[in-house]
């Protein structure tokens, strides 16, 4: 696993154990792995904007069933993050947040 993958997996496990959502940085990092083209996934990864949480997760998690357990966990955590965050515009400072 890369450093980012290890950081995201740890962040997901910690969030689940604490009963909370993952951080903005973990969400952005996960989205950056799956965002393609100029769609909603790329907009979220670049700006933090969420137009429709469910459609965004469907776009980013399209290959869910083909992923390994750590990546499924990351996508699951991203899905609940998106639902909790809801519809929103761009987030100030979004370009500075990453999983650590």
Q: Where are the domains of the chain?
A: 3-90
Distance CA 100, CA 98 (A): 6
Structure tokens, 82 = 């998106």
The model's pTM: 0.93
Binning pLDDT at 50, 70 and 90, where does residue 100 land?
A: confident
Give the closest residue to 78 by CA, choosing from 40, 31, 9.
31
Position 21 scores a pLDDT of 97
Q: Count the neighbouring beta carbons within 10 Å of the beta carbon of residue 58.
A: 14
Task: Estimate the crossing angle of helix 40-47 against helix 24-34, to 10 degrees.
Answer: 140
88 beta partners:
50
pLDDT surpasses 90 at 81: yes
* Residue in this structure with the two tokens 């609940």, named with its chain if needed: 80
Strand, coil or helix: what is 18? helix
């Amino acid at each position: 696993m890369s450093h980012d993958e290890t950081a995201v997996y740890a962040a997901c496990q910690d969030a689940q154990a604490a009963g909370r959502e993952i951080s903005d940085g973990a969400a952005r990092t996960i989205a950056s792995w799956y965002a393609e083209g100029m769609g909603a996934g790329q907009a979220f990864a670049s700006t933090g904007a969420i137009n429709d949480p469910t459609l965004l997760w469907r776009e980013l998690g399209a290959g869910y069933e083909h992923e390994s357990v750590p990546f499924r966990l990351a996508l699951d955590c991203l899905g609940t993050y998106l639902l909790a965050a809801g519809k929103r515009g761009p987030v100030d400072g979004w370009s500075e947040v990453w999983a650590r």
